[in-house]
A and B are shown apart, each in its own frame.
Chain A
Amino acid sequence: MSAFVQYTVQGLAAGGFYALAALGLAVIFGVLGVVNFSHGACYMLGAVAAAVLLDVLHVHFWVALAIVPVLLFLVGVLMERLLIRWLLRLDPLYNFLLTFGLSLILVDVVKRRYGVSGLPYERPAGMTGQVHLGGIGLPTYSVFVCLFSLLICGVVWVLLTKTRVGMIVRACTEDADRSRALGINVGRWVTPVFGFGIALAGLAGVMAAPFRAITADMGGNFVIILFAVVVIGGLGSILGAVAAGFLVGLVEAYGQAYAPTFAQVAIFVLMAGVVLFRPAGLFGRDETA
C-alpha cells in the first residue's frame, strides 16, 4: 500500500511537468495552429537556465522559479517575432519543421557550451527529506512538485475562465477563423500566447532541475511524451492537456514500478487506445459532431 502511494506521488509529480508543458503546447496550438516541436528544447532551456543561474550568479531555486519563466517568455517572443510569424500563413507543416530545426539548434548550442554529461543541481533547502503522511514517507520535493503544478494549472485555469483575455484565448483555441469573423484580432494575441506557452515549458524545466539529470538531450524524450499527452487529452483542449498530463505521469510511474520494460510502451498503448475509441481525445470535441 505504502509503495503504491509513493508511486502515485511520483507519477503525479512527473505528471505535473507534463501537465504544465502540455498546457503551453495546447494554448500555442489552439491560437497559432502551430505544433511547437521545440517545446521539449524550451523545457530543457528552463532547466539549464536554472542550473547556470545557480552556478554563475548563485541565484537560488526559488528565485529561478520566478525569473526563468520570464526569460523563457522573452525567448518565446523572439522566436515568434523573428521566425514563426512569417510562416503562419503557410501550411502548418512549415512551422513544424521550423520548430523541429530550432530544437536541434538549441540542443546543440547547449551541448557545445555545457557538454553532454549533465549539470549538477542540488535540491533546494527544506526539499531534501521526506514528509510523512499517514505513516507513509514521501519525498518532499515530489509532493511540492505535485502541489505547485496543480496550483499553477489552477491559476492558469482562473486566468482562462475569468478574464476577457482568457475568454478570447479559449475562443481562438476552439476556432481561430471563426473568432476572426467575429471581429477578434487574433494576430494581436499570437505573440503573448506563444511567449506564455514557452514560459510554461520553462517553468516545468526549472521544476525538473532538482529532480532530473540536466542535459541538453533531456527535452528529446520529453517532447515525444508531450505529444502523446496532447493527443490523449484532445488537440486544442486545455483541460484535456492538464488531465492527460497527470494521467500519463501516473501510467509512466506505475509502469516503471510494476512492469519496467513496459513503462514507455504503456503511454503509447494508452494513446493508441484513445485514438481508436475516441479519435478526438478524451476531452476533445469531435470535429464532425
Chain B
Amino acid sequence: MLEIAGLSAWYGEARVLQNISLSVHAGEVVTLVGRNGAGKTTLLRSVMGLHRQVEGAVRFDGSALGHRSPDSRARAGLGWVPDDRGIYASLTVSENLLLPPVVHPEAWSLDRVYQAFPVLADRRNSMGTQLSGGEQQMLAIARVLRMGSRLLLLDEPSEGLAPVMVQRIGEIICDIKAAGVAVLLVEQNVKFAATVADRHYLLAQGQVVESLSNKSFQSRESELLTYLGI
C-alpha cells in the first residue's frame, strides 16, 4: 500500500533522513520506533508532503506521489494525525469531523463515528480544544476515518495520555486494522507499540537500523528499551 524507497530529507544543509526504505501493506499496523530526533516525525511529514526538502520515491496505492501537494495526497487516502493532534480550536467537534472531504466509499458516516466514539457525540457542539488530550486524540483519529483514509499516519498517539486512555487508543487502532485500514505509527512507547503492531522499524539518526516482526520485537523488549534510552 505504501512503499518508500531511498528517501532522504534535509533541513537546510542538515540531512535528517538517510536512504529510508520501508513498506506498509493494506490492513497492517507498522511502527517507527526511535529516540527523539531520530527523524520519525520528519518521515511522516515527508510522506504527507508537508516536508518538501526530500529525495527518493514514495508510492501509495501503486502510484508515485512525487511532488504532489499535501491536499492531493490526503484525497488519495493518506490520513494525517499529527503529534499535536491538529484539532481546530475555532471549529466545533462536529465541524472538525466534517471539515475534510470524503475521499473513499468506505468512509465512516458521522453516525458511525459517534457510535464508535460516544464521548465525541456528547461533546459535538464543544469547541475542539475544549476536549481533554485523550478526547482530542480520538477526534483526530475519528476525523480521518470519517474522511475515508486508507492509511493513517499516526504520530505518537499515546503521548501524554493516562494509561486507561492509551489502552483505549490501542483498541481503536486494532478496530481500524480490522476494518482493513493500514496504520503507520510513530511511537516511543515500546510496550504500547508491541500491543498493537504487526511489524516494527527501528529508526536511529535518520536511518532504518533494523526491521523486526512483532514477535522478535516482544522478545527483545528490554534490550530495545535500553537501546532507545527510554
Residues of chain B in range 51-98 having any CB-CB distance to chain A below 8 Å: 69-71, 73-75, 80, 82, 86, 88-91, 95, 98
Asked whether any CB of chain B lies closer than 8 Å to the CB of A182, the reply is yes
Closest to A30 in B: B90
Minimal beta-carbon separation of B56 from chain A (angstroms): 20
Q: At the interface, yes or no: A173 with Cβ under 8 Å from chain B?
A: yes
Cross-interface CB contact of B88 among A170, A177, A183, A185, cutoff 8 Å? A170
Q: Kindly state whether residue A285 has any CB partner on chain B within 8 Å.
A: yes
By a CB distance below 8 angstroms, the chain A residues around B73 are 181
Chain A neighbourhood of B88, CB < 8 A: 170-171, 174-175, 178
Known contacts A181-B50, A181-B80, A184-B101; decide if A167 and B75 are in contact (CB<8 Å): no
Q: How far is the CA of A4 from the CA of B98 in the complex (A)?
A: 47
Instruction: Tell me the complex Cα distance, A171–B75, Å.
Output: 17
The tally of CB-CB contacts under 8 A between chains A and B is 66
B interface residues, tally (CB under 8 Å):
25
Contact check, B50 vs A183: say whether CB atoms are below 8 A apart: no
B residues in contact with A173, CB < 8 Å: 90
For B89, give the chain A residue with the smallest CB separation. Answer: A285
Residues of B within 8 A of A168 (CB): 99
Do residues B74 and A181 form an inter-chain contact, with CB atoms below 8 A? yes
CB distance from A172 to the nearest CB of B (A): 10
Complex: chain A residue closest to B129, CB-CB: A285
A residues in contact with B71, CB < 8 Å? 179-186
Q: Cβ of A181 and Cβ of B95 under 8 Å apart?
A: no
Q: Does B7 contact A (CB under 8 A)?
A: no
B 92-118 contacts with A by CB, 8 A: 95, 98-101, 103
Interchain nearest-CB distance for A238 vs B (Å): 8
Q: Lowest 3 A-B CB distances belong to which pairs?
A: A183-B74, A181-B80, A180-B70
Check if B48 sits within 8 Å of A181, measured CB to CB.
yes
The reply to whether A167 and B48 form a contact with Cβ atoms under 8 Å apart is no
Knowing A171-B91, A183-B75, A183-B147, the reply to whether A178 touches B86 (Cβ < 8 A) is: yes
How many whole Å from B40's CB to the nearest CB in chain A? Answer: 17
**Complex alpha-carbon distance, A185 and B98, angstroms:** 15
**Which chain B residues border A178 with CB–CB below 8 Å?**
80, 82, 86, 88
User: B199: CB under 8 A from chain A?
Assistant: no
Which B residues touch A184, using CB under 8 A?
71, 99-101
Of chain B, the residue at the smallest CB distance from A181 is B80
Among candidates B89, B95, B100, residue contacting A182 with C-beta atoms closer than 8 Å: B100
Residue of B at shortest CB range from A164?
Answer: B98
Q: How far is the CA of A186 from the CA of B69 in the complex (A)?
A: 11
Residues of B within 8 A of A177 (CB): 50, 70
Closest A residue, CB atoms, query B147: A183
Please give, as numbers and ranges, the residues of chain B lying within 8 Å of A170 by CB-CB distance: 88, 90-91
Contact with A along B135-156 (1 / 0, CB 8 A): 0000000011001000000000
Proximity string of chain A (181-205) to chain B, C-beta cutoff 8 Å, 1 when within and 0 when not: 1111110000000000000000000
Contact residues in B for A182 (Cβ distance below 8 Å) = 71, 74, 80, 86, 99-100, 143-144, 147
Given contacts A180-B50, A182-B71, A184-B71, 14 further A-B contacts (CB under 8 A): A171-B88, A171-B91, A180-B70, A181-B73, A181-B74, A181-B80, A181-B86, A182-B74, A182-B80, A182-B86, A183-B103, A184-B99, A184-B100, A184-B101
